[in-house]
A and B are shown apart, each in its own frame.
Chain A
Amino acid sequence: MRCGLPALLCGALALGLAGCGEGEGVDDGDRELTVLAAASLTGTFTELAAAFEEAHPGVSVRLAFDSSATLASQAVQGAPADVLATADAATMQDAVAGGAVPDGARTFATNTMTLVVPADNPAGLATFADLDAPGVDYVLCVETAPCGAVGATLLAAAGIDAAPASLETDVKAVLAKVAADEADAGLVYVTDATAAGEAVATIDVPDADAEVLDYPIGVLEQAGDADLAREFVDLVVSAEGRAILTRAGFGVP
């Protein structure tokens, strides 16, 4: 057994280890700011980070996008980061309660939900209520994620009984399933629909405005450079930041 299992596993392990330790080389004088942001902020925060780097020469912004709950629990566990931005108040509240956001958080954006269908709308949906038609495969976030909790409320309010085909763990997974035409429809944020552009078509959700999600942002307890972190938050709530957020479909308070 020359080319056996152990040899291959060892090879795989070596590859894995070689991957560690990247991105740790910071030049002297260079400062680094790490921002944890909800998945739905991917586009806007990438833009905001570029604007921040431009305004602060020598500073590089590292962005980590994940579900709000994951990021909040990472922040409480002391993940090395400076700023946390979540997609709902509840997950931020968990982080505040866990002592990760000592100065509290402020709302910088709002979002509502919409229904997206693949560009050619294979199931021929015209209204939100059509989700109840037989044979429609729609996807939703799990209820533990903000998008899932709001989505379930909207479905219940519209009296839709049909069960979704799948409960995705975050909103990007919902959008991906619809954009790839694997599902007939999905409930996502207005901003996700805007970002997806031509890949999807949107259908208005009745009373979507009744379920507005607040996006809070705060400086983390473990921030290496709290002043720099505060400056980033200032940029997000500045006129420039608001313009970037509005262009992506967010509401601003």
Chain B
Amino acid sequence: MVCRLSRSAVAECRAKATRSVPGRRLVANARFNTMTSRWAYACSKALDEFLALAHGRQRQLPVMIVRLFNTAGPRQTGRLRHGPPAVRDTGAVRSPAGRLRRRTQRRCSVMSATSSAHSSRLIAHAGAARPVVNVGSEEEVTIDALARAGARAHPEPVGDRADSICGSVERGLRGHARRVPDLTRARALIGFAPTTRLDDIIMRVIEHERAFLRLRHNALIDTEPSHRACPEPSRRALVLSLSPDSTGFRRFVERHASRIDWPWVLQRAQAHKIAALLAARVEEDGPIGALDADVARRMQEVRQEARRRTHVAQSTLERLARSSPGKTSRFS
């Protein structure tokens, strides 16, 4: 894309790399050995820079390479998040980037909005003699401290956050103990200084996630279902029945019970292996009395079968615990 854009009248070519250290060594050593084992991600970053610089030379275009260090902030998506975005309030820490290996490793996170704004300003300096500039923060934090900061900001237990952040490090590759950007060039060129502290970044990520989840949940309950899309109220009832907060299901069903195709909902729930949860919700919060007699009977059968299987599961664990010397069952 960079090449395509730069072939047009645009007089500058910019490549962004999200990290600097892995690529720097490769770029600096023009005779680097390709047989040296390197992390594929680091190689991809280095290749970005090779490509941008080579293309700039061939087309006589000014180039500016901005190396972004550990950007973090609201609205980040995908698997490349790490640091604060991984310490989320949802209870399910989504797969973090997993570049960080040990709890003692130190990283610096910079607010994504800050880095974007400053990257744009750096374009004005494209073509400088040294066209590589780091953008980041110098506020170092260990993975352990980052996990603690996340826990302070949202105290609900979500497992071992430090382990979650350490995540899936690829085998045989060493993570850097510290990664602190040298911001001298960015300061000299544009007076760069990060303005958002780590605690604020964490709070903003958490606020954004909470607001987003509320928005999505409320939209499911409150938006008027379309009359044209026949299964829509039914689909929403199914989705809401899965929510840990049962009030949404109750509110929606109270308003739209007559428009819900309960046989369809039950059939889909069975296909997705969530009929036990649906039947429990209907029994506890829904209109079991107002349902068609056949559907109500089937819901009750599902509920009874779920209770029976839970009892069998409990018996199984107890038998196993009794047969395993020195162990006791934790299932009660």
Q: Do A and B bind each other?
A: no
Which residues of B does A touch, CB under 8 Å? none
